[in-house]
Amino acid sequence: MTRRRLRRVPLAAALALAGLFGGVRAESLSVPMPATWKPGDGRGVAALFAQLDAVAKARPARPGHAATTLAVTSCADDGGNGTLRSVISGAGEGDTLDVSTLTCGAIVLTQGAIAVYQDYLAIAGPGANALAIDGARADRVFVHYGHGTLDLQGLTVRNGFTRATGYHVTGGACVISNGYVAVERSIVSGCVAEGEGAYGGGITARGVGIYSSTLSGNIARGSHPNTFTAAYGGGAMAYRGIAIIIGSTITGNRATHASTDTHGSYCTGGGIFSDRGGYMYASTLNGNYSYGTGGGLATHGPFDIANSTLANNTARFKSGGGVFARVFYPMRIANSTIAANTSGRPGAGIYLTGIADALTIASSIVANNRAAGAASDIAAMNPIAISGANNLVTAKAANVTLPSGTLTADPLLAPLANNGGPTLTMGLYAGSPALGVGSNPNAFTNDQRGAGFPRTVGGLTDIGALQGTVAAPAPKIPAPALSAWALALLAGLLGFIGWRRRAAG
């Protein structure tokens, strides 16, 4: 899938108004499952999308429509003229809704999730920090029944909520889409999906594109006290499709389970879960958490990673703190840094499962990752020989063969920080063995930080996502220690002052 497929493409047909459609209401979208169902076998999420599809198939056709831009003029959510809900219901195929002139700061939904029946629709805002569409923790924000792309531009989508009780599955608390979701220059945050199966805390769609945006603080939580549960993709889940992440930050998302569960849970993809792989460029996944596998990223297909950083992610009890991958086709990691991730089992940086066809790592750092307290950067279920060159990997499992010449020394990595550019990165301290010995196989012009930060300087490329060094922290100056007689004198002086105060009182 290319980015073009994740963008809105006007079609000849238009859709009828939302009020004409029957079927499942947006705010009640969840699927019952039998008590004998085992979360994780695919039937639950498939049933959820089948429910979306049933509504999509019931849409009546309309004559051709020339796509246009429609203005949203009201911040209310009462369905009145000019409100976002009203304008969406009357929009045609491929239209753009302009919310950029609103000055209210937030549209707080009071009537439940907004249903989008169009295949292709764009909502263009004034900027992520200027306008939010807020679900008020009462319902989802958007339910997109169409098969095309819902394109969110320059706004924040936040505080969506969906909870399925009993033997039900749910997902996509900010946005659930029967097609694709493109998030551009936007923020998706603070959304929670909870059920026996919870698929996508922030976004659930057949394909997800995150461009110059942030996914933060979203949660997929498996919850049922009497059965096994599942949670996939705290930030986002791409179901039977791919995820594309460019120039973005995925941070603080969680795939976990309720503390009241007594039968266990399968949790994977704290930041992102993708069924069929994808691509990440110039992005950072940090501080994401999975109770099971794949703290930062979990993928069942080849996921190419370039000029990116995965740091401080956690797979608490299983493997793949940074990356958990089922690699059935060639997968590539280039000019990237995967460091300071943790897991409960070996493979805290990268864990490969299934029958790995091929993994290529080029000019990348995989270091300082720890599993159950021990160094563990790369591990695999089955033996694998990794191809590539110009890498630095400090600890790998016995069944993993690294390319000849791979460095193993401490890379002298600085903590994740703002080193310039739109995303956080991990710089190298002076004296790092990674300086000047990398390569640039994709001929990138810039390092992860973008314009103004060249990937190669003076013909030399550093290993990892960032080119060049950062300043070492200033040494801590210890407080001067007092001698025994000085301490005794100080104690006596304080005691005397206290006695004088009591006497004066």
Instruction: Encode pLDDT of 341-391 as tens digits.
Output: 999 999 999 999 976 678 999 999 999 999 999 999 999 999 999 999 999
pLDDT at 467 over 50: yes
Instruction: Encode pLDDT of 345-359 as tens digits.
Output: 999 999 999 766 789
pLDDT at 79 over 60: yes
Is residue 269 within 8 A of residue 295, CB to CB? The reply is: no
pLDDT for res 173: 97
Sequential DSSP letters for 124-187: E-S-TTT-EEE-TTTS-SEEE-SSSEEEEES-EEE--EEE--SSEEEE-SSEEESSEEEEES-E
Cα 492 to Cα 486: distance, rounded to the nearest angstrom: 10
For residue 4, name the pLDDT band (cuts at 50, 70, 90).
very low
The ranges assigned to domains in the chain are 3-276
Is residue 462 within 8 A of residue 430, CB to CB? The reply is: no
Q: What is the mean pLDDT of residues 421-440?
A: 98
Sequential DSSP letters for 275-312: SS-EEEES-EEES-EESSB-SSEEESS-EEEES-EEES
Q: Exposed, middle or buried: residue 485 (CB in 10 Å: 0-12, 13-18, 19+)?
A: exposed
pLDDT for res 238: 97
Is residue 30 within 8 A of residue 162, CB to CB? The reply is: yes
61 or 404: which leads in pLDDT: 404
Q: What is the pTM of this model?
A: 0.88
pLDDT for res 493: 57
Instruction: Encode pLDDT of 244-286 as tens digits.
Output: 999 999 999 999 988 777 777 889 999 999 999 999 999 999 9
DSSP state of 430: T
Look over the chain and give the mean of its residue pLDDT values, rounded to a whole number.
88
pLDDT at 436 over 60: yes
47 or 467: which leads in pLDDT: 467
pLDDT at 490 over 70: no
